[in-house]
């Protein structure tokens, strides 16, 4: 029986020693982040809730994408990669899906909300929204009306081009975000 415990202890020590300090630091960071409930849907007019975490600014800035203001949640954590959703504050709050390798190095990221007009503006009206499905498919949708101008340069709200765009992305087994499909339609 003692021999079994000695072998088990030796295996655990070996595994722990094989993990780099960089990987251990990233693991410590990830363990503080709760998993995000899927499907996760947001529109450009929604507010975004952040997790209340006790992470020092230096650690947050080390891993967060540029401009990130908070962590929304963890999407996936495997031995090869991790996927975390952050938010970036601007005129609206933009969820950003960020992937990392096991060491905590950034692989790539994508904004969940990609569009040009949310609500009404002088030159357009529209909405855009995004969803992360339980299979981690990321879908972006954008619908907007771009108003034409009259000869005086005034926008005509009854004359416009309607543009609808949809894009879907997947996360590979290595943790990279890749375009799956994209479609755009225009009408007058």
Asked whether 106 and 98 are in contact (CB, 8 A), the reply is yes
Burial, 60: exposed, middle or buried (Cβ in 10 Å; 0-12, 13-18, 19+)? middle
Express each pLDDT in 128-174 by its tens digit. 899 999 999 999 999 998 888 889 988 888 888 889 999 999 999 99
Express each pLDDT in 84-137 by its tens digit. 999 988 777 789 999 999 999 999 999 998 887 888 888 888 888 999 999 999
| Percent of all residues in the chain with a pLDDT value above 90, rounded to a whole number | 55
pLDDT band at 17 (very low <50, low <70, confident <90, very high): very low
As a whole number of angstroms, the distance between CA 101 and CA 119 comes to 37
Asked whether 136 and 142 are in contact (CB, 8 A), the reply is no
Please tell me the pTM assigned to this model.
0.82
CA atoms in the 13 A half-sphere facing the CB of 34: 11
Alpha carbon separation from 128 to 39, 73, 117, 187 (Å, rounded)? 17, 21, 8, 17
Asked whether 137 and 120 are in contact (CB, 8 A), the reply is no
As a whole number of angstroms, the distance between CA 170 and CA 180 comes to 6
Q: What is the pLDDT of residue 64?
A: 94
3-state SS of the chain: helix, strand, coil percent to 5?
Answer: 20, 50, 35
pLDDT band at 1 (very low <50, low <70, confident <90, very high): low
């Amino acid at each position: 029986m003692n021999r079994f415990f000695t072998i088990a202890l030796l295996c655990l020590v070996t595994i722990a020693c094989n993990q780099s300090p960089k990987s251990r630091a990233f693991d410590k960071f990830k363990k503080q982040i709760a998993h995000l409930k899927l499907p996760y849907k947001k529109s450009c007019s929604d507010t975004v809730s952040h997790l209340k975490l006790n992470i020092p600014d230096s650690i947050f800035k080390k891993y967060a994408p540029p401009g990130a203001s908070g962590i929304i949640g963890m999407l996936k954590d495997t031995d090869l990669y991790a996927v975390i959703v952050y938010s970036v504050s601007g005129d609206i709050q933009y969820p950003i899906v960020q992937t990392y390798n096991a060491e905590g190095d950034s692989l790539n990221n994508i904004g969940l909300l990609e569009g040009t007009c949310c609500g009404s503006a002088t030159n357009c009206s529209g909405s855009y929204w995004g969803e992360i499905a339980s299979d981690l498919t990321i879908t972006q949708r954008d619908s907007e009306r771009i108003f034409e101008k009259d000869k005086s340069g005034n926008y005509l709200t009854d004359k416009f081009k309607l543009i609808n765009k949809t894009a879907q992305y997947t996360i590979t087994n290595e943790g990279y975000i890749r375009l799956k499909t994209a479609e755009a339609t225009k009408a007058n």
